[in-house]
Amino acid sequence: MKVKQTLPDERLASLGHQRNMVAKVSYFVAAIEAVAGTKLIATVPRRSTLLHAKDKRLKLLSPPNIFPPFKYVMIWHPRVNTDAAHIWLRRTMQNLGTLLDTNADVK
């Protein structure tokens, strides 16, 4: 399967390794569900695994220290820059992100 390289792919390639990707999904939760009960591995942010930590079909592993932290970003079409509902949504998401960041007890 030929897929654009992601951060994990780039880091592994710099060490002379390559992933054998058998599936690609658009969402972290979909990746987690896709590998549950199999011998497959999904590379997802740690926070994405919190709701699945008690799932006996999964084994949560920490990656090697080759993956740096990353930031989430928001993008939107310029036509909604002044839309009141969209401004509220962006502020709410930013506040939630800040709250998660300051309460980051997951290491």
Residues near 8 by beta carbon (within 8 Å), at least 6 away in sequence: 19, 43, 67
Region 26-48 average pLDDT: 90
Interatomic CA distance for residues 5 and 13, integer angstroms: 9
Residues near 21 by beta carbon (within 8 Å), at least 6 away in sequence: 1, 3
Tell me, yes or no, if the pTM score tops 0.95.
no
pLDDT at 102 over 80: no
pLDDT in tens, 54-88: 999 999 888 777 777 777 789 999 999 999 999 99
pLDDT at 22 over 60: yes
pLDDT of 1 reads 54
Give the number of residues written for the chain: 107
pLDDT band at 105 (very low <50, low <70, confident <90, very high): low
Task: Annotate 35-91 with DSSP letters as a single string.
Answer: HTTSS------GGGGGGGTT-TT----PPPTT-----------GGGTT-HHHHHHHH
